[in-house]
Amino acid sequence: MDLSGNSQELIPPRERVTGAIVFKRFTKSIKDNGGAGDVYPDVIAAETDELFGCNVEELYRGTGGKPGRRDTLPQPAQEAYMVNESITANELERLIGTLGGETQEEVNDRIVGVTRQQAKQTRKWLPW
């Protein structure tokens, strides 16, 4: 409110973008497209395979990271995940309501496919 008693729209507070914020947006875009169940580990598996050429367990073991704790991965790996998940979230948000599918498995497969395709593109920009 200003001094005359009129309400004003508040500007949302700004915060530093972190891997956790990017990941939250990514998972929300999956949910908003109807993804459920095993889709979450499946997209991470597909993304990891395309970005790093290995599975999740191999990535953590090979880099000395603690499983389930991305913050323990080397910075370039964390950045690769953040970039890819930001781009993929943009694409999935654009596709909300259009992925379709008769079964949950079909919907999940389409989401995994979008994630895999975006990760292939992201990998082209990475130095490895």
Comparing 128 with 49, which gets the higher pLDDT? Answer: 49
pLDDT in tens, 15-46: 888 999 999 999 999 999 999 999 999 999 99
Q: What is the pLDDT of residue 48?
A: 98
| pTM confidence score | 0.85
**How big is the CA angle at 98 (ends 97 and 101), to the nearest 5 degrees?**
100
Name the nearest CA neighbour of 112 among 24, 60, 50.
50
Higher-pLDDT residue of 14 and 59 is 59
Please give the structure tokens belonging to residue 3.
């001094």
Give residue-wise pLDDT tens across range 73-92. Answer: 999 999 999 999 999 999 99
pLDDT at 11: 76
Length of the chain as a residue count: 128
Most distant CA atoms of the chain, gap in Å: 62
**Whole-number Cα distances in Å, 113 to 41, 68, 99, 116:** 13, 23, 11, 5
